[in-house]
Structure 1
Amino acid sequence: MGLFSRNPDSDDDFDGEKTSFLEERGFIASAIVVGAVLICLVVWFMASGRNDTPSANPSQSPSTEAPTGQPTEPTGPPATPVEPTEQPTKTAPPPPNSHTGGCHDRSPAQGIPRLAAPAAVTWQFEGEILVPIQAAAGPAATSPDGVRSCFAHSPTGAVLAAMVVLGQIQNPDVSLDVLRTRVLPGPGRNAAIAAAKEQLKTPPTPDGDVQFAGFKVLYYPPGGAQAIIQVVADLNHKAYGALPITMQWSHGDWYAVLQDDGTFNGSVEPDILSSLNGYVRFSGAS
């Protein structure tokens, strides 16, 4: 199975169509690429018969022009253009390897981000997906192979770790190394590695425009031994797909936990969302 599975017992009228699609793309045998995983959610959404109009790009502001009427003559001299006094500030990306922040911070802030996204974050491409990088919560280490690690033992650190692991898994240049080093050992990791090897034998297929859109911390107990983060991706501006990611604190860092079938969600049905209500908006895409 891929990292994202769907309950085969679901009484969806389009099971036959979905099965055909998944087998055609090699998903059942090998789809560990998170982009393909999320795109299959689009297929479920489209096949379910929903014809929702795609939401407008949030970066576009509503028009403030008045309705067209009779032309009027200007009543005064033209206004003098005003130069902007300051440019929008941008957070400089942290170094790939640092001895401060991330897992090096012995007393990171323990507040759970429920209303506002983590601050001072830069976004960097991992394959086709932008992943969040923060000097305070991590990742604070990058291996020679490009695997990112060393996240803060905090709710924010768990959120960033979940999104970075997902983003790196979809990147064929580092996917195997990420599965071997950023996922806890067990049957699930073995199944995912086997699927990844098969996936790498076939030419990649375009995944479309899929980017992270937000998150919700579902579970973070005192002490932070484990965390469950619901990560949301924007699926080609047609819907949102939500994926539960279980992270466990072990050996001084956050590691992903897979079900025995090699997926993140096992028998838990995927969530298709029409909006981000109830989630923290968090995206590097405009």
Structure 2
Amino acid sequence: MAWFTGGGSSGSDDDAPAASVWESRGFVASAIVIGAVVVCLVVWLVAGGGNGSPSTQPTPTATPTATGGTDQPTDDATEPPATPDPTTTTAPTAPVKPSGTGGCRAKNPPQRIPREAPAAVSWQFETNMLIPLQAQGGPAIEDANGLRHCFAHSPTGAVLAAMVTLGQIRNPELTESVLRNRIAPGAGRNLALKAVRTSPTPRNTGQTSQFTGFKVIDYLPNRAIISIAVRLDSQKVAGLPVTLLWVDNDWKLVLQPDGSFNGAVAPDVLQSLNGYVRFGGA
């Protein structure tokens, strides 16, 4: 099991121990590691070979640019409640009071789908990955432990929430806090919280993967589906699908019942950034 699975159904018994992602043959060597909460559960990956898994494609033709790129995308953007679990009863960390009126406090934020990189964005390292910060779209709140939240109720706010949350969950010091506060309640979150309390957490994996773009696949006022483009290395870019829900006045990411973000939808190894808005800090 992993944050981003390779797609396709598995014939494994749910009660059987999950295989270590470090030992599985199907994973591309340049997979993105998310400061794992567990050896089997916390990895962004691109699977190669096997049913439903994308295979490695030729070198992407697009080269990601720094903040402010204006490449236009194409117009192709066309769980039941979990049983209460003792691992989910701890109260969220009390937030630090924000200043200003941005993020989730913004009144009537623009609802247009972003067709170019959000403006006035600064990029800050979270471990070794750059995450975007914008006064208007969020995050507007940073907790005492460094957890960021409070994003605008808009398509741009959803994009920023996806990237910031994916970046922060890689930080071993924040992983559990992200799961408790930045993931929507459900069976997948319960599974991940159980695992993070019992499994070893890999630290420095040597990965230098960075965000390089996004595509809004679908947007409704209370749900957004975003594909986040991440450069794995000098030759590969992956499109990672993420669903977000508007819960408790903020965007929160959804974990599928298997504990991954994408469930049966396999990440794509992209041949180019066509259809994506270029957006990255490196």
- TM over 0.5: same fold? yes
Match of 1:182 in 2: 182
Q: Partners in 1 of 2:37 and 2:168 — Cα distance?
A: 20
Match of 2:257 in 1: 260
Q: Partners in 1 of 2:194 and 2:273 — Cα distance?
A: 34
User: Contact (CA 8 Å) 2:64, 2:213: kept in 1 or not?
Assistant: no
Picking from 25, 29, 34, the partner of 1:17 is 25
Question: What amino acid does structure 2 have at the position aligned with 1:176?
Answer: E
Question: What amino acid does structure 1 have at the position aligned with 2:103?
Answer: G
Match of 1:278 in 2: 275
Q: Are 1:134 and 2:116 an aligned pair?
A: no
User: Contact (CA 8 Å) 1:188, 1:258: kept in 2 or not?
Assistant: yes
Match of 2:103 in 1: 102
Ranked by relative contact order (alpha carbons within 8 Å, sequence separation 6 or more), the top structure is 2
Q: What is the DSSP-based 3-state SS (H/G/I as helix, E as strand, rest coil) of the residue aligned with 2:162? A: helix
Q: Deviations over 1:26-49 (max 9, x none)?
A: x8964554xx42xx32x639x988
Match of 2:157 in 1: 157
User: TM-score, structure 1 length as denominator?
Assistant: 0.72
How high is the sequence identity, in percent, across the aligned residues?
47
The farther-off stretch of 250-259 and 156-165 is 250-259
The change in CA–CA distance for 1:219 and 1:203 in structure 2 (over 3 A counts) is closer
CA RMSD after TM alignment: 3.2
Describe how 1:50-89 pairs up with structure 2 within 5 A.
52-53=58-59
Match of 2:114 in 1: 113
How far the C-alpha of 1:145 sits from its partner, in A, is 1.3
The change in CA–CA distance for 1:190 and 1:278 in structure 2 (over 3 A counts) is same
Q: What is the DSSP-based 3-state SS (H/G/I as helix, E as strand, rest coil) of the residue aligned with 1:17? A: coil
Tell me, which stretches of 5 or more residues in structure 1 are unaligned?
Answer: 11-15, 61-94
User: Contact (CA 8 Å) 1:30, 1:195: kept in 2 or not?
Assistant: no
Aligned residues: 233
How far the C-alpha of 1:257 sits from its partner, in A, is 1.1
Q: What is the DSSP-based 3-state SS (H/G/I as helix, E as strand, rest coil) of the residue aligned with 2:243? A: strand
The change in CA–CA distance for 1:198 and 1:237 in structure 2 (over 3 A counts) is farther
Q: Deviations over 1:153-176 (max 9, x none)?
A: 010000000111100111111111
Match of 1:208 in 2: 207
Q: Partners in 2 of 1:252 and 1:198 — Cα distance?
A: 31
Q: Partners in 1 of 2:197 and 2:134 — Cα distance?
A: 31
Q: Partners in 1 of 2:9 and 2:37 — Cα distance?
A: 16
Q: Partners in 2 of 1:2 and 1:232 — Cα distance?
A: 18
Match of 2:219 in 1: 220
User: Contact (CA 8 Å) 2:159, 2:226: kept in 1 or not?
Assistant: yes
User: TM-score, structure 2 length as denominator?
Assistant: 0.73
Question: What amino acid does structure 2 have at the position aligned with 1:204?
Answer: R
Q: What is the DSSP-based 3-state SS (H/G/I as helix, E as strand, rest coil) of the residue aligned with 2:165? A: helix
> As a proportion of its length, which structure holds more helix?
1
The change in CA–CA distance for 1:138 and 1:56 in structure 2 (over 3 A counts) is closer
Q: What is the DSSP-based 3-state SS (H/G/I as helix, E as strand, rest coil) of the residue aligned with 1:190? A: helix
Q: Partners in 2 of 1:178 and 1:207 — Cα distance?
A: 22
Q: Partners in 2 of 1:129 and 1:193 — Cα distance?
A: 23
Q: Deviations over 1:70-96 (max 9, x none)?
A: xxxxxxxxxxxxxxxxxxxxxxxxx99
Q: Deviations over 1:181-213 (max 9, x none)?
A: 1111111101122333455x2442524220001
Question: What amino acid does structure 2 have at the position aligned with 1:131?
Answer: I
Question: What amino acid does structure 1 have at the position aligned with 2:25?
Answer: E
Q: Partners in 2 of 1:209 and 1:164 — Cα distance?
A: 16
Q: Are 1:240 and 2:214 an aligned pair?
A: no
Q: Partners in 2 of 1:51 and 1:252 — Cα distance?
A: 40
User: Contact (CA 8 Å) 2:189, 2:259: kept in 1 or not?
Assistant: yes
The change in CA–CA distance for 1:202 and 1:255 in structure 2 (over 3 A counts) is closer
User: Contact (CA 8 Å) 2:188, 2:257: kept in 1 or not?
Assistant: yes
User: Contact (CA 8 Å) 1:210, 1:233: kept in 2 or not?
Assistant: yes
Q: Partners in 2 of 1:59 and 1:259 — Cα distance?
A: 32
Q: Partners in 2 of 1:192 and 1:283 — Cα distance?
A: 28
User: Contact (CA 8 Å) 1:3, 1:264: kept in 2 or not?
Assistant: yes
Match of 2:247 in 1: 250
